[in-house]
Structure 1
Amino acid sequence: MLLPDSSSWQAAAACVGLSPSVVFARRAQQAAPALRACAACLVRRECEAAVAPAESFFDGVCAGRLWRNGRPVPESRTAKVMGPITAGGVRG
């Protein structure tokens, strides 16, 4: 999810190279590849601080969550497409 003013944390984001239609999807099923990338991403905190989804009425995936109109989509809706959590704490 590269923003116009690219910085080093953005280059390290797990979603680099994903289609914008996946990253900015409004539904969990379409956003599943981005949600899976976020699960392993090391820069989620930086992403959320830069995007500020709650303040910008953001639609899409940011910091490991799906957002719609700046509100996080309940995890019960995203868990269906992400699969169960494994012993290592990662969804499979």
Structure 2
Amino acid sequence: MPSHDPEGFDWRAGARCAALPPAAVFARRPIEAAPALRACNTCPVVEFCLRAVDPANTWFDGVCGGRLWSNGREVPLS
């Protein structure tokens, strides 16, 4: 995977969460987000995801970059 975002590169196509149901990716609770969080552990496009979604600045709810977010804040998993 390239370290920069070349023109035309669709990072979403390589995302491990691409085949997961939206309920897992946009979950608000750790138990529901578990499949997406596991997918992030081996995902080759985590950096692209974090840059594109920018969860802390977009009030994102769901899983991004191996972390669970609620209103742009990281949710503690334990």
Match of 1:50 among 39, 44, 52: 52
Partner of 2:4: none
| Count of residues in Structure 1 that have an aligned counterpart in Structure 2 | 71
Name the CA distance, whole Å, in 2 between partners of 1:25 and 1:16: 14
> Greater relative contact order: 1 or 2 (C-alpha under 8 angstroms, separation 6 or more)?
2
Percent identity, please. 58
The CA RMSD over aligned residues, in Å, is 1.4
Partner of 2:67: 65
**What runs of 5+ residues in structure 2 fail to find an aligned partner?**
1-7
Name the CA distance, whole Å, in 1 between partners of 2:9 and 2:31: 29
Taking structure 1 as the reference length, what is the TM-score of the superposition? 0.72
Taking structure 2 as the reference length, what is the TM-score of the superposition? 0.85
How big is each residue's C-alpha offset from its partner over 1:8-47, in whole Å with a ceiling of 9 and x where there is no partner? 2110000011111110000000000000000110111100
**What runs of 5+ residues in structure 1 fail to find an aligned partner?**
1-5, 77-92
